[in-house]
Amino acid sequence: MAKEIGQFLYERGYKKIESQIPLFMKEAEDVVYLVQITGMTYDQFSPPEVYLRRNQQLIFEYNGRTRKDVQVLNLIFVPSIQCKGIAEVAEKVPNVWVIEQQNNRLLLFENQSKQFDNLYDDLESWLIVPKEENEVGKIKSCPITLILIAINVIVYLILSNMGDVYDPIFMFAHGAQEWRSVFYEHEYYRLFTSMFLHFGWEHLFNNMLVLLIAGIEIEMQIGKIRYFLLYFISGLFGNLVSAIAGAMTGSIAISAGASGAIYGVVGATIISVILDREKRERFSLLYGAILLVGSFYMATQDGTIDYFAHGGGVIMGMALGILFHMIPKKKLAHA
């Protein structure tokens, strides 16, 4: 259960800190939130003084590191509310929430407060929802990814009913990119519109599969606004790199697809795996295999691969991934 709680916190912007006691941190603009997870049994428990001392140590340490207000939440697992010692701890220690394992419920003593990073109601609901429903909720909690997939599919369906989506001339007439149109005709809008066009359903399916897998993970981690910026900046940069490469090589290829943006998402995911220990711990072999195989297949599914858009997208995605990791998340990023 503690590992699942860690996943719950991770999905809300927390990261795991190296510590003897499970500790998670989220740094906002003007406050640092710390959640430490401990447990009690009927015959093994810590007195309030231990919790108070630990809280003071954490506040002193992280206030010194960040120069921000520090709030500490003690999340304590007990087999039952009748567990000896929990009432005394809840009476004397601030910010104590109790998870009763017997009934899988969140308990709050009357002298305690729900006010801690708006977590209480979410955690209470999460505990009572079956885990398979949590997986559905995980997908539903990533609206930007779902909206992007929906837009790409809708655009494809409309264009496929209007003409031949395998025909470069038809696709160019409806927003695909060719470097001369960008630099000579100043049709810069093509850097954007080409992101939503796909040469056939295979091209669309491959892109949307990787977007779904990687997009959900990274959107949960960095938040909706940053994810929105990641997707479009990577896509635009990838298409710009493609146009510049076309001008340098004299290519006359017409290009389209969300690959630059999606490779940006994959690049940011790679960075999060490298820099985030909690992410590394939960990055399953199956997830990694699907992501890598899907990305590889997407890049080799036909003979007209735009390697420059892919490369530009992944480089920008990795750069933004590093930037987002360095800059503390503000509440706006999780709006």
Which CATH number covers residue 170?
A: 1.20.1540.10
Q: Could you tell me if 270 and 162 lie in one domain? A: yes
Boundary (domain end) residue, out of 81, 112, 137: 137
150, 155, 160, 163: CA torsion to nearest 10: 180
Q: Could you tell me if 283 and 297 lie in one domain? A: yes
Q: Could you tell me if 186 and 215 lie in one domain? A: yes
pLDDT at 245: 93
Boundary (domain end) residue, out of 90, 105, 137: 137
Q: Which two tokens stand for residue 80?
A: 């039952």
Q: Could you tell me if 301 and 195 lie in one domain? A: yes
The position carrying tokens 């056939």 is: 200
Q: Could you tell me if 127 and 176 lie in one domain? A: no
Q: Could you tell me if 129 and 160 lie in one domain? A: no
Boundary (domain end) residue, out of 137, 162, 194: 137
pLDDT at 157: 97
pTM of the model: 0.61
Q: How far apart are CA 192 and CA 215, in angstroms?
A: 19
CB atoms under 10 Å from CB of 162, counted, come to 11
Residue ranges making up the domain that contains 213: 142-334
Structural domain total, the chain: 2
Q: Could you tell me if 116 and 180 lie in one domain? A: no
293 Cβ neighbours under 8 A, 6+ residues apart = none
Q: Could you tell me if 149 and 125 lie in one domain? A: no
pLDDT at 331: 39
Would you call 40 helix, strand, or coil by DSSP?
coil
pLDDT at 127: 86
Q: Which two tokens stand for residue 304?
A: 């007209």
Give the mean pLDDT per block of 10 residues along the chain (335 residues).
82 88 92 92 80 95 94 91 84 93 86 93 83 55 90 97 95 94 94 95 90 84 88 96 92 89 90 67 52 58 69 94 76 37
pLDDT at 335: 35
Q: Could you tell me if 132 and 220 lie in one domain? A: no
Q: Could you tell me if 132 and 152 lie in one domain? A: no
Q: Could you tell me if 111 and 246 lie in one domain? A: no
Is-contact 169 214, C-beta < 8 A?
no
pLDDT at 330: 46
Q: Could you tell me if 106 and 219 lie in one domain? A: no
CA distances for 228 relative to 130, 170, 179, 323, angstroms? 30, 29, 25, 15
